[in-house]
Amino acid sequence: MQPDFIVTDMFYPWFADAAADSESSVLPGLPHSGHANEEEEEGLLRWLDSKKEESVLYVSFGSMNKFPSTQLVEIAHALEDSGHDFDFIWVHNFLYWSCGDSLFESAIAGLPMVTWPIFAEQFFNEKFLVDVLRIGVSVGAKEWKSLNEFGSEVVKREDIGKTIALLMGGGEESVEMRRVKALSDTAKKAIQVGGSSHNNLKDQIEELKSLKLQKVKHKMEVMEKGDRNA
């Protein structure tokens, strides 16, 4: 049984193969983000405005991950030694844990990423991001962990630092930056009037309206038939 529509946070041509296989329309899933309170948000924006373009690194490992203290120390030293400003806020580049939502949000925003997969499907996400889309750089994590487990692997500060330098030092000329900017432009065009996601959403609305009219028409025919037989 084929679905009539697929609602996803992907877009053409990113999801073209899957859409072709299902003979379904691909609809946009818009990126989302959390919000600080107004005072905190204004402070963060002022801080960002005081920094140079492409100089701030966003670090996020989500709410379900655990690191041993030894790994946290390595991360802290790598960030401090990188020479780049960093914080858990809206920024130019991502160091993230390879969650699917983060991948799509970062790509749509035009931000290349350092990937750090931990559990679930995140190693597949990293492969897609680094080897297929080529908009990210792997930090080198190899150990798959169960949810809420520390694991035994500790990624060293030197390896983390090299990856950050590779991502942050390339500027607009880096392969990752050029490709993620192009992908971001494609995503934005997809939701504009006349774009693929915009058109697919309109088509779905029209089809749903048509289905509703068919149901109403069928119901009226049944009622009329009942009246004639009464």
55 and 149 share one domain = yes
Answer yes or no: do 195 and 175 share one domain: no
For residue 35, is it within any domain? no
At 41 the pLDDT is 76
> Best-predicted range by mean pLDDT among 5-14, 39-48, 166-175, 176-185?
176-185
pLDDT of residue 230: 62
Domain match, 15 and 44 both: no
Number of H helices, E strands in the chain: 8, 7
Mean pLDDT of 118-134: 87
Residue 113 to residue 124: CA distance in whole angstroms: 15
Residue at 33 is within a domain: no
Same domain assignment for residues 181 and 196: no
The arithmetic mean of pLDDT across residues 107-129, rounded, is 86
Q: How confident is the model at residue 110 (pLDDT cuts 50, 70, 90)?
A: confident
pLDDT at 29: 43
Q: What angle do CA 57, 144, 18 make, to 5 degrees?
A: 80
> Looking at the structure, do residues 126 and 88 belong to the same domain, yes or no?
yes
Q: What is the mean pLDDT of residues 210-227?
A: 82
Compute the mean pLDDT over every residue in the chain, rounded to the nearest whole number. 78
Claim to verify: residue 69 and residue 158 sit in the same structural domain: yes
Number of domains in the chain: 2
The enclosing domain of 131 has a CATH number of 3.40.50.2000
34 in a structural domain = no
Kind and range of the H or E run holding 206: helix 196-229
Q: Residue 45 — very low, low, confident or very high, per pLDDT cuts 50/70/90?
A: confident
Residues 24 and 65 in one domain: no
One domain, residues 101 and 80? yes
Between CA 103 and CA 133 the distance in angstroms is 11
Tokens of 222: 């049944």
Q: Do both 107 and 168 map to the same domain?
A: yes
SS3 137: strand
- Residue-level pLDDT at 163: 92
Sign for the CA dihedral angle at 34, 136, 185, 5 comes to negative
Structure tokens belonging to residue 73: 């120390």
| Angle, alpha carbons 221-226-229 (nearest 5°) | 130
Alpha helices in 55-195 (DSSP H): 69-82, 100-109, 122-127, 157-168, 175-190
**Is this structure's pTM higher than 0.85?**
no
Asked whether residue 90 carries a pLDDT value surpassing 70, the answer given is: no
- Is the pLDDT score of 101 beyond 70? no
Q: Which domain holds residue 179?
A: 40-189
Q: What does the DSSP assignment read for 150-186?
A: --S----HHHHHHHHHHHHSSGGGSHHHHHHHHHHHH
- Same domain for 218 and 130: no
Confidence of residue 158 (pLDDT cuts 50, 70, 90): very high
For residues 9 and 65, membership in a common domain is answered with: no
Q: Is residue 111 part of a domain?
A: yes
Within-domain flag for 89: yes
Mean pLDDT (whole number) for 97-107: 67
Say if residue 43's pLDDT is above 80. yes
Same domain, 20 and 46: no
